[in-house]
Chains A and B, each alone.
Chain A
Amino acid sequence: MSGKPKLFYFDGRGKMESIRWLLAAAGVEFEEEFLETRDQYEKLLQGGSLLFQQVPMVEIDGMRMVQTRAILSYIAAKYNLYGKDLKERALIDMYIGGTDDLMGFILMFPFLSAEDKEKQRAFVIQKATSRYFPVYEKVLKDHGQDFLVGNNFSWADVHLLEAILMVEEKKSDVLSGFPQLQAFKARMSSIPTIKKFLEPGSQRKPVPDDKYVETVRRVLRMYYDLKAN
């Protein structure tokens, strides 16, 4: 074994993308095995690698971890991106909860009908601009620091940057009412590990397309009939 974490997922964003972001931001190199066929998935199942029969799965430090949140929490704590004490953790967890909910609305996007995509796009933008972005804008404005929590780079900052970029893909000027977030985005993008991840050739995955949807449906035999929020 190489010692590097190994990610098992489709060759696309989905639930694994936040994990890629966090590892990359922490400067941790990782390997990936892409699920392309139903057979591969069944082999993983039969081999007992998937605790609840689901991916994402990450082999890390001798564990086969599943459940996105559990994996992210482990990585954040291991690489000191989880605050300095219980109260900073609590703040980080709350902020992550928000960006997670927001990105969750985008997760199902590629699986929707054309009509539902339009509805969902409007829903995402409305939630981003009225519920989520104002919170982080205020946090940054109130303390005037570079990072969301404890004047220190944390998981919450990585997650927020990821969410901002994802929403911008749906509406390029969505940050126009949020000057703090614009400055935040610029600062985060300049952090060396993140800058590297944002460059072509990194392990960051592109916006999901029909081929991705078709692969997920073929491998999991699920997600044929999703509706907008």
Chain B
Amino acid sequence: MSGKPRLTYLNGRGRMEPIRWLLAAAGVEFEEVYLETKEQYDKLIKDGFLLFQQVPLVEIDGMKMVQTRAIMSYIAGKYNLYGKDLKERALIDMYVEGISDLMQMILTFPFSPPDAKEKNLEAIKERATNRYFPVFEKVLKQHGQDFLVGNKFSWADVQLMEAILAVEEKVPAVLSGFPQLQVFKTKMSNMPTIKKFLQPGSPRKPPPDAHYVETVLRVFKK
């Protein structure tokens, strides 16, 4: 074994993308195995790799970890991106969970029926601009620091950066009412590990397309 974490998922964003972001932001190199066929997936289950028969799967430090949140918490804890004490953790957890709710809408979007797409896009825009982005705009404005929690780079910053870019792909001018978030986005983009992840050739995956949707439906067909 190489010692690097090994990620097993489809060759696309889905539920694995926040994990790729976090590892990359922490400067951790990782390997990836891509599921392309139902047979591959069935074999993983048969061989006992998937605790609840689901991916993401991340093999890390001798564990076969599943459950996105569990994986992210472990990585954040291991690489000191989880605050300095219980209260900072609590803030980071609250922010991450909120962002995760927003990202859930983006996650399911490609799978919405064609006649629901416009409504769902509008819902993403509404939630981002009225519920989630104002919270982080206010947090940054109130303490005036570069990072969301404890004046230190954390999991919350990585997650917010990912969400901003993901929403911008759908709603290009979404940050126009959020000057703090615009500054935050620029600062995050210039952090060396994130800058590298944003360059072509990195493990970052492109927005989901029809081929990705087709692969998901095929691999996980009952």
Residues of A within 8 A of B (CB): 51-53, 61, 63, 65-70, 73-74, 77-78, 86-87, 89-90, 93-94, 96-98, 101, 131-132, 135
A104 to chain B: closest CB distance in Å?
12
B98 (CB) vs chain A CBs: closest residue: A52
CA distance A52 to B100 in the complex (A): 12
| A–B pairs, 7, beta carbons within 8 Å | A52-B101, A67-B97, A73-B90, A74-B86, A77-B89, A94-B67, A97-B69
Which residues from chain B contact A132 at a C-beta distance below 8 Å?
A: 52
Which residues from chain A contact B78 at a C-beta distance below 8 Å?
A: 86
CA distance A195 to B203 in the complex (A): 50
Instruction: Identify which of residues 43-78 in chain B touch chain A, using a CB-to-CB cut-off of 8 Å.
Output: 51-53, 61, 63, 65-70, 73-74, 77-78
Question: Is A94 within 8 A of B131, CB to CB?
Answer: no
Q: Does B221 contact A (CB under 8 A)?
A: no
CA distance A69 to B89 in the complex (A): 12
Which residues from chain A contact B93 at a C-beta distance below 8 Å?
A: 67, 69-70, 73-74
CA distance A70 to B96 in the complex (A): 9
Which residues from chain B contact A70 at a C-beta distance below 8 Å?
A: 90, 93-94, 96-97
A-B CB proximity, top 8 nearest: A97-B67, A93-B70, A70-B93, A67-B97, A70-B94, A94-B70, A90-B74, A74-B90
B51 to chain A: closest CB distance in Å?
6
* One of A61, A86, A87 near B87 (C-beta < 8 A): A61
Question: Is B97 within 8 A of A86, CB to CB?
Answer: no
B128 to chain A: closest CB distance in Å?
12
Q: Does B153 contact A (CB under 8 A)?
A: no
Contact A135/B135 with A66-B94, A74-B90, A86-B74 known, Cβ cut-off 8 Å? no
Question: Is A93 within 8 A of B67, CB to CB?
Answer: yes
Q: Does B132 contact A (CB under 8 A)?
A: yes
Which residues from chain B contact A96 at a C-beta distance below 8 Å?
A: 67, 70
Question: Is B51 within 8 A of A98, CB to CB?
Answer: yes
Residues of B within 8 A of A (CB): 51-53, 61, 63, 65-70, 73-74, 77-78, 86-87, 89-90, 93-94, 96-98, 101, 131-132, 135
Which residues from chain B contact A66 at a C-beta distance below 8 Å?
A: 94, 98
Question: Is A89 within 8 A of B73, CB to CB?
Answer: yes
Question: Is B63 within 8 A of A97, CB to CB?
Answer: no
B78 (CB) vs chain A CBs: closest residue: A86
CA distance A77 to B86 in the complex (A): 8
CA distance A67 to B90 in the complex (A): 10
B91 to chain A: closest CB distance in Å?
8
Given contacts A65-B90, A77-B89, A89-B77, 4 further A-B contacts (CB under 8 A): A51-B98, A63-B90, A66-B94, A69-B97
Question: Is A131 within 8 A of B52, CB to CB?
Answer: yes
Question: Is B51 within 8 A of A94, CB to CB?
Answer: yes
A102 (CB) vs chain B CBs: closest residue: B52
Which residues from chain A contact B66 at a C-beta distance below 8 Å?
A: 94, 97
Which residues from chain B contact A90 at a C-beta distance below 8 Å?
A: 63, 65, 70, 73-74
* One of B51, B74, B135 near A51 (C-beta < 8 A): B135
Which residues from chain B contact A86 at a C-beta distance below 8 Å?
A: 74, 77-78
CA distance A29 to B168 in the complex (A): 45
CA distance A140 to B78 in the complex (A): 27
